[in-house]
Amino acid sequence: MPLAEYGWIVVAAAVEELVFRGVIQTRLAERWGPALAIGVTSVAFLVIHFPGWVLLAAMPDATTMASVFLIGLVCGWLRHRTGSLWPAIAAHAANNFGALL
């Protein structure tokens, strides 16, 4: 894989984390508390991956869906626990790199 494609993995992780954990989770946590916000944001994170799977004709199995939901929970917890997006971005990017192996 060309080096530029690895860069896009990090950029995509950063953008997704900014939207899901930086904006959505933060706003929901103000209203509903962190636990519910992390759960709802993780479900939304899973759902947003479906169009890509459909376009690639690669409908996921239960294990894949569970792993996407789980990384959403982990990233949400990291954002809540540290107050920073950087650990969530790092975990998300590491997960994406691992998925390529």
Calculate the dihedral angle through the C-alpha atoms of 71, 8, 37, 70, rounding to the nearest 10 degrees: -10
- Burial of 2 per CB tally in 10 Å (0-12, 13-18, 19+): exposed
Tens digits of residue pLDDT in 34-76: 999 999 999 999 999 998 888 888 888 999 999 999 999 999 9
Residues 1-25 have a mean pLDDT of: 89
Q: How far apart are CA 70 and CA 52, in angstroms?
A: 18
Tell me the average pLDDT of the chain.
93
Q: How far apart are CA 17 and CA 72, in angstroms?
A: 9
Residue 1 is predicted with a pLDDT of 67
| Torsion sign, CA atoms 47, 38, 95, 13 | positive
